[in-house]
Structure 1
Amino acid sequence: MDERRTLAWHETLEMHELVAFQSNGLIKLKKMIREVRDPQLRNLYGVSIQAIEQNLRELLPFFPQAPHRDEEEEERADNPFYSGDLLGFAKTSVRSYAIAITETATPQLRNVLVKQLNAAIRWHAQIFQYMYEHGYYPAYNLSELLRNDVRNANRALSMQ
C-alpha cells in the first residue's frame, strides 16, 4: 500500500465532520452525566463517554497530515459549541427528513415531510450563516476549520 504524507481533501473533510460531531456530543454527555441518577443509565453514559474519547484520541493524530494546517490559536467562549451543536442537530434533521421521505407511501404525508425538509434546510442555512459570520465555522478555510476541530476535541477530552 502506498503511504501518503498528506491526507486527501475528501477524507480530511469527512474526518472533520466526525471529530466536530463527536466533540460536541462528548461535551454534551459530560455535562449531562452529572444529572443522571439512574445507575444503569449513568453507566451507559460513562461507556459512551469512554468510547467517544477513544475515537477522538485515535482520530486526532491524523490532523497533522491534513493539507494546509496552521498553528493553534487561543480558546474561545462557549458560543462555538452551542452553535455547532445546533448546526449538528439541524444537519441531522435534514438527513432524517430526506430518509423519511424515501420511505413514505402516503402522498399527504410526503407533502408535509417535504415542506418540513425545506424548512429544516433553511434553518440549517441560518445557523451556518450565524456561525460563518462569527468565525465559528470557517467553511472556506480548511486550516482554520481543522484547527477548530483539534481545539474542540482537546477541550472535550480534558473535561472532567
Structure 2
Amino acid sequence: MIITLARIDDRLIHGQVTTVWSKESHADRIIIVSKDVFQDTIRKTLLKQACPPGMKVNIVDVPKAIAVFNNPKYKDDKVFYLFTNPSEVLALVQGGVPLETLNIGGMQYSEGRTQITKSVSLTQVDVDAFRHLGQLGVKLDLQVVKTDPHTDILKKIDETFDK
C-alpha cells in the first residue's frame, strides 16, 4: 500500500477534504480509521456519500486497517488515511504501518479539551499520543488548511502543556 497522505480531521470528509486534501493526496482511496465511525452505520453511509468523485472510501477500525495494509492484494493502492484522533494513529503505527508524516487538521473544542490553536483542541490523552508519535519518528505537521504554514504540533503542545 502506498500512503500518500495521513491526516487527522475530526470532521472527516467535508469541504476542505473533498476539494483540497483529496486532490493533494493523489490517492485512489480514502481509508477512514475510526472505531467509533466503523460502528456507526448511519455515519458510515453519510461519509461514503460525501466521498469525492472518482475516489473510493473505506471505513475501518485499527485492526482492520493493519490487516488491509499488510494484504498484498492492496500493495499498489494509493491511500489517504483519515483519522479523528492521534490515539488511533499511534495504534496503527505501533501495529506496523509506517507513517512518515501526519498532517493535523481540525480537532474541535469540547469540554475537557485545551485549545492550542483556533482549530485544534487536545485532551491529555491526545498530547501523550502526539508525543509518542514524535518519539517514533513521525513528523507531526499542523496545517489546518493547505495555505497555512507548516507547524510542528509538538512545539504548540510544549507552549501550552507541561512536559
TM above 0.5, one fold? no
User: What TM-score, normalized to structure 1?
Assistant: 0.29
Greater relative contact order (Cα < 8 A, sep 6+): 1
Structure number with the higher helix fraction is 1
Q: Which has the larger radius of gyration?
A: 1
Normalized per residue, the structure richer in strand is 2
* TM-score, scaled relative to structure 2: 0.28
